[in-house]
């Protein structure tokens, strides 16, 4: 069972990257940078965000928090990063985060 939890993040990334092949609006991770994400401002619509950084390879909706989250993995210099963009249920951007990609670097589990 513990092995499953270690392999689960890799499975999620594999399935998300398989979806990239079918959606032409998804930008490859090597084409994204911090400069792209720095253009995002609270109050932007999902269409405005997608125009800047492309469609997300992975979307999640959290009903209790009343938000939708778009996740992107990309490379900046020599580091693999993950950025999440948070929207309210009307599709208005609230904020975005950036962190080291724990799927690539390992979560310490």
Number of domains observed in the structure of the chain: 1
Domain that holds residue 70: 2-105
CATH code of the domain in which 11 resides: 3.30.1450.10
Tokens coding 87: 């929207």
Give the residues across from 68 on adjacent strands. Answer: 61, 87
Tokens coding 50: 């997608």
The whole-angstrom separation of Cα 61 and Cα 69 is: 6
pLDDT for 22-44, tens place per residue?
566 787 777 788 899 999 999 99
Task: Look at residue 77 and tell me whether its pLDDT is greater than 90.
Answer: no
In the block, which residue shows the tokens 């800047």?
A: 52
Would you place residue 61 in the very low, low, confident or very high pLDDT band (cuts 50, 70, 90)? very high
Which has the higher per-residue pLDDT, 93 or 12?
A: 93
Which runs of consecutive H residues, i.e. helices, occur in the chain? 2-20, 34-38, 46-53, 102-105
Asked whether 83 and 71 are in contact (CB, 8 A), the reply is: yes
Asked whether 48 and 3 are in contact (CB, 8 A), the reply is: no
**Percent of the chain beyond pLDDT 70?**
74
Would you place residue 7 in the very low, low, confident or very high pLDDT band (cuts 50, 70, 90)? low
Which strands make up the sheet holding 79-88, listed edge to edge? 58-62, 67-76, 79-88, 93-100
Task: Look at residue 84 and tell me whether its pLDDT is greater than 60.
Answer: yes
């Amino acid at each position: 069972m513990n092995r499953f939890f270690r392999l689960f993040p890799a499975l999620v990334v594999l399935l998300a990257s398989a979806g990239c092949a079918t959606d032409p609006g998804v930008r490859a991770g090597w084409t994204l940078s911090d400069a792209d994400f720095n253009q995002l401002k609270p109050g932007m619509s999902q269409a405005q965000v997608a125009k800047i950084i492309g469609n997300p390879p992975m979307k999640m909706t959290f009903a209790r928090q009343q938000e939708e989250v778009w996740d992107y993995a990309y490379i900046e210099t020599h580091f693999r990063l993950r950025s999440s963009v948070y929207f309210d249920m009307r599709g208005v951007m609230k904020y975005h985060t950036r962190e080291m990609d724990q799927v690539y670097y390992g979560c310490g589990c």
